[in-house]
Structure 1
Amino acid sequence: MRTSEEIYHRVRWDTRFDPARFVMGVSQRGAPPERMPLPRFTPGGEIPWHRVLFFEADGEVVWDRPSGVDRIDATDAGRVHAPRRLPSPYFTARTPHMFSAPKDVWAPVPEGVPASVLPAPLTLLTWNTLWDRYDSDRIDTARRRPLLLDALQAADADVIALQEAEPALLGLLLSTPWVRESYTFWADPAGRDVADCGLLLLSRLPVREAGLHVLGPHKAVAAVVVEGAEGPVTVAVTHLSSDHSANGAARREV
């Protein structure tokens, strides 16, 4: 039986596997195991390998420490059936989430969700929403955010890409009825992606892939592959250093 570390790295770096479809079970003292999407696990971080109890792919247990199960090579679960447009290791997979009304939570998009009627042409909106950390006394963020949500709804875009987004704005969006009814969020809303890099993607088209490429501290590229009327379309969003940063123009050129 291979170790949990070997299984993790096999899934993470073997292009035949889709890390976004794997879940890890982590032991907790006096409580059931915590379930964690594999892309959120940090090797060498706070969770040691001996606390990893199992790996699931597409809901199937493919490795289980207590029972000695190790069948990752004996199943098609978690396998890539078509070449990825956001391949590892350049992109780290993210798990798209959609709102589940019966459970009143944002949950991973289930397999086999019926495709909506696809528009032609696809409409895309991109918007720098302004950090609240600069000039907060001048930009009246509390007043701007509700107006921003109204403008986004009026734009009626198939894909929304925001920069300089913050957790407070994410919370407003995810609690808004029109977002919950029609849009898929590109990652796990409980994760730190928005807080760390300020990037946010919403799509009302089926999301086939999602990923993040880290450029440096607080800088990244977030991307989704959505199903358009004429086939898959990749949409990426980034935010480079502004002139609030020392030597910002030179940083953008690099």
Structure 2
Amino acid sequence: MQDVVGRLRFDATFDVRRFVVGYEERFAGVREAPLAEFLAGDNEIPWHRIFFIKAGELIVWDRRARIDLVFGSGDSPAADHAAIARACAPAPVAAPAPTRRGKLRAGPAVFEARPCFRFDPSRGAWLPVAATGLHEARAEALQVATYNVLFDLYEPEQLYSEARGPACAELLREREADIVALQEVTPRLWAELLAAPWLREGYYVSEGPDAAGLQPYGQVLLSRWPLALELHEFSARKRLVVGRLSLAGRRLAVAAVHLTSNRKADADDRRAEQLAVLVERLARADVDDALVLGDLNFGDGEEDQQLARAGLVDVWREVHPHHPGFTFDPEANPLARLASRTGKAARFDRAAALAGGGAGADRGHAVR
């Protein structure tokens, strides 16, 4: 790896200022920093904790994926200095946007239709379910849950992964929710969940056994009924999953979200853009009511006006107006205490409702 960094630093074809390293920060996962700062000694990052190097959106070198565009080692068929040089080229100067937040798009965000999966006992496998319009769910009430299960790609021994996986599965089994949104699901944890008898017997799922949409981690939806599924990719690592069905004669959309965390320098702008895409999708003519479930990565009072402007009602506040409902509490949770930057508790995980007819807010319950 030192050879790769040396080539990027001293080859005049490249601009070292355009490169970013992805490194592991203990208890906080993978973070990014400019390569130039790393070389200047401004970051105390040991070499073995660097997992990838990129220029813009181009992955130049990746330890886990065995990518090497500098020398062509690992699984890369050959070096590709031309691609690296293009990624290092100055970005074109864009005209200033009329708003301070978010990005302008030429048209509606693109959502790709995906099948949901159901376990077939006769074949002993999870199989895709063909979409045949919206399924009519027959239920007098709807219980939903959202749960960030915490990915464990780095130092899993510090996160007690062997114990947490079964504990997560048991918690979900006991909850018996009709629809569940999970965030930070890794392929390993997904395989454990798909093997659970209660999941095989009672749920349709948004991801197949190959876990193609969970690389390196991602969101999934579990549902008692088949969902018409759609996927929007904000980036290679950030996605939005939307499932639709019919409930009480109204078209309900359920969105599983995981917005950008504050560990990104431009987190506010990224979240604003992600929320804009979500709201745009929920406002289309094929949706009457909607539930938004997931990790919004901002606490009470920080960016709530965006939810209010979109007509999204915070379900927890409606049901428990006098209870903070913290889902990230450094005082109560030692792991949160290690990962926290501020030491303050927050309610990052939310359930929000958008009801065209005003009947949606009393149907959802956030569970952490």
Give the TM-score normalised by structure 2. Answer: 0.41
Q: Which residue of 1 aligns with 2:219?
A: 199
Q: Which residue of 2 aligns with 1:10?
A: none
| Structure 2 residues not aligned, in runs of 5+ | 1-107, 274-368
Task: Give the counterpart of 2:190 among 129, 153, 170.
Answer: 170
**Partner AA of 1:227 in structure 2:** S
Task: Give the counterpart of 1:125 among 114, 127, 145.
Answer: 145
1:157 paired with 2:177, answer yes
Tell me the CA shift for residue 191 of structure 1.
Answer: 4.7
Give a deviation string over 1:49-77, Cα, whole Å, max 9, x none.
xxxxxxxxxxxxxxxxxxxxxxxxxxxxx
Tell me the CA shift for residue 228 of structure 1.
Answer: 2.2
Give the TM-score normalised by structure 1. Answer: 0.58
Q: Secondary structure of the equivalent of 2:234?
A: strand
Which structure features the higher share of strand residues?
1
**Partner AA of 1:152 in structure 2:** L
**Partner AA of 1:211 in structure 2:** E
Q: In structure 2, what is the Cα distance between the partners aligned to 1:163 and 1:131?
A: 9
**Partner AA of 2:232 in structure 1:** H
Q: In structure 2, what is the Cα distance between the partners aligned to 1:131 and 1:139?
A: 9
Q: In structure 1, what is the Cα distance between the partners aligned to 2:120 and 2:235?
A: 34
**Partner AA of 1:146 in structure 2:** P
Q: In structure 2, what is the Cα distance between the partners aligned to 1:128 and 1:191?
A: 17
Tell me the CA shift for residue 185 of structure 1.
Answer: 1.0
Tell me whether 178-187 or 130-139 shows the greater mean CA deviation.
130-139
Q: Which residue of 1 aligns with 2:366?
A: none
Q: In structure 2, what is the Cα distance between the partners aligned to 1:225 and 1:170?
A: 22
1:211 paired with 2:211, answer no
Residues 136 and 247 of structure 2 are in contact (CA less than 8 Å); yes or no, is this contact kept in structure 1? no
Q: Which residue of 2 aligns with 1:109?
A: 129
Give a deviation string over 1:14-51, Cα, whole Å, max 9, x none.
xxxxxxxxxxxxxxxxxxxxxxxxxxxxxxxxxxxxxx
Tell me the CA shift for residue 244 of structure 1.
Answer: 3.9
Residues 214 and 111 (structure 1), Cα distance of their counterparts in 2 relative to 1, 3 Å cut: closer
Q: Which residue of 1 aligns with 2:253?
A: 234
Q: Secondary structure of the equivalent of 1:200?
A: strand
Give a deviation string over 1:61-118, Cα, whole Å, max 9, x none.
xxxxxxxxxxxxxxxxxxxxxxxxxxx9721010111000000011122577xx7872
Task: Give the counterpart of 1:180 among 187, 192, 200.
Answer: 200
Residues 167 and 195 of structure 1 are in contact (CA less than 8 Å); yes or no, is this contact kept in structure 2? yes
Q: In structure 2, what is the Cα distance between the partners aligned to 1:202 and 1:153?
A: 12
Q: Secondary structure of the equivalent of 1:180?
A: helix
Q: How many equivalent residue pairs?
A: 165
Residues 224 and 236 of structure 1 are in contact (CA less than 8 Å); yes or no, is this contact kept in structure 2? yes
Give the alignment of 1:1-254 within 5 angstroms. Answer: 90-110=110-130, 118-133=138-153, 136-196=156-216, 198-207=218-227, 209-254=228-273
Residues 187 and 210 of structure 1 are in contact (CA less than 8 Å); yes or no, is this contact kept in structure 2? no
Tell me the CA shift for residue 240 of structure 1.
Answer: 1.7
Q: In structure 1, what is the Cα distance between the partners aligned to 2:230 and 2:178?
A: 18
Tell me the CA shift for residue 251 of structure 1.
Answer: 3.5
Q: Secondary structure of the equivalent of 1:99?
A: strand
Give a deviation string over 1:129-181, Cα, whole Å, max 9, x none.
11113563432111111000000011111111001111011101111000000
Q: CA RMSD in A?
A: 2.6
Q: Secondary structure of the equivalent of 1:106?
A: strand
Q: In structure 2, what is the Cα distance between the partners aligned to 1:250 and 1:134?
A: 27
Q: Which residue of 2 aligns with 1:71?
A: none
Residues 127 and 147 (structure 1), Cα distance of their counterparts in 2 relative to 1, 3 Å cut: same
Q: In structure 2, what is the Cα distance between the partners aligned to 1:189 and 1:149?
A: 17
Identity over the aligned pairs, expressed in percent?
A: 30
| Structure 1 residues not aligned, in runs of 5+ | 1-87
Residues 261 and 267 of structure 2 are in contact (CA less than 8 Å); yes or no, is this contact kept in structure 1? yes
